[in-house]
Structure 1
């Protein structure tokens, strides 16, 4: 299957549930707007995507106090299946429909896969609470939506690796969205979109296909530019202090160097580039 074939299946599934998904997003809009939908593809196609994921050692390990996970955006190194499913979510039909569900005018996909692509997280790995970078790689567009498609069969919620939303801050209980096989989760990204991935406790890998949508306008009138800003989990007070200082320092650098000191390597550098 190519990206158009995948997109047709995804469109059909989303469109069939459009009104209920819109209600789900609208009900959560006051905090961090989100929706999720199961069985976004036929099961056989979802299995094929998972079976074509690279081994973790073939991906890039990002390991620090902020996060511990494997990622990849240089998609021509891997099975063509993965590139096709990633760009299926950038099909004009899908982008427009998701925008309608979330009440966002003219969302734009990201051909560069800036911080998108694929990821895998194994036992002990995590992604601490954070705000995503507010803009695209050229700091021209606002990041407005995060699309996460989970493809690990039989992944139970108790295994960890689940999406966590903190709409009321870290002094309150988070919302957990199970990273269930063949589930698509979509969340809004703005100055209050604090989210994380719970530590993996199972001896296996939670695999995910991710995309971001951007816009010429921010989601909230109060949104302002910020770098990816991490926090420690509520039980990790010292880590929280260190990561807040880290974010403050990196923000200071970006006030001087608009696009940072060095280019973020997590983009898809195609031959034409």
Structure 2
């Protein structure tokens, strides 16, 4: 099945549930707007995504006090189906429909997959509370939506590896959104959209296909440029102090070097035709 056919399936399924998704997003918009929808693709196709998903050793491992996960944006190194699915979410009519649900008129997908692509979390992997970088790689457009499509079959709640939203900040309680098989979660990204992934507790891999959408306009008038900011969890006082210092230093660097000292390597370097 090609990218166009997959995007048609995604579009039709979201369109059929448009009104309930608008309500989901609207009800949560004052803090961190989000919606989720299940059974996004035919089960056989979603299962095939899981089957061909790269193994941890075929991906780049990110491991620090902030996070432990495996990522890849170099899609031509992986099965063609995964590339077709990820770009199906970038189809113009899919982007426009999601923009209508989230009430965002200026919305652009990211062909370079800057900080997007594939992610995998194995046992003991985690992602601490953080705010995503506010802009694209060229610091021209605002990052406004995060799309997470999960493809691991039979992934249960007790397995961990679930998305957490912190609507009242990372010192309060989180809302857990389960990384259920064949589920798409769309969340707003702005200066208050703290989110994380809790630790995977089983011998297995939680696999995710992710996209970011960008806009010419920030979601909130108070939004300002910021680098990715990490925090510890509410009981991690020393981690909080360290990560606050880390964020401050990186922001200082960006005041001097507007686009950073080096380009973020997490993009899709497409082979020349």
Q: Tell me the TM-score normalised to structure 1 length.
A: 0.99
Q: Deviations over 1:69-121 (max 9, x none)?
A: 00000101110011000000000010000000000012100000000000000
Matches of 1:258 and 1:58 in 2, distance apart? 32
Q: Report if the CA contact (8 A) 2:71-2:117 is conserved.
A: yes
Runs (4+) of structure 1 exceeding 6 A deviation are none
Residue ranges of structure 2 left out of the alignment (5+ in a row): none
Matched with 1:250 is 250
Matched with 2:89 is 89
Q: Deviations over 1:124-182 (max 9, x none)?
A: 00000000000001100000000000000000011110000001012321110000000
1:116-265 map, 5 Å: 116-265=116-265
Q: Report if the CA contact (8 A) 2:96-2:107 is conserved.
A: yes
- The offset of 1:234, in angstroms, is 1.0
Matched with 2:38 is 38
- The offset of 1:272, in angstroms, is 3.4
Q: Tell me the TM-score normalised to structure 2 length.
A: 0.99
Matches of 2:241 and 2:210 in 1, distance apart? 29
Matches of 2:236 and 2:255 in 1, distance apart? 29
1:14-25 map, 5 Å: 14-25=14-25
- The offset of 1:271, in angstroms, is 2.0
Matches of 1:218 and 1:170 in 2, distance apart? 22
Matches of 2:186 and 2:134 in 1, distance apart? 16
Matches of 2:209 and 2:177 in 1, distance apart? 16
- The offset of 1:240, in angstroms, is 1.2
Q: Report if the CA contact (8 A) 2:33-2:188 is conserved.
A: yes
- Residue-pair matches, total: 273
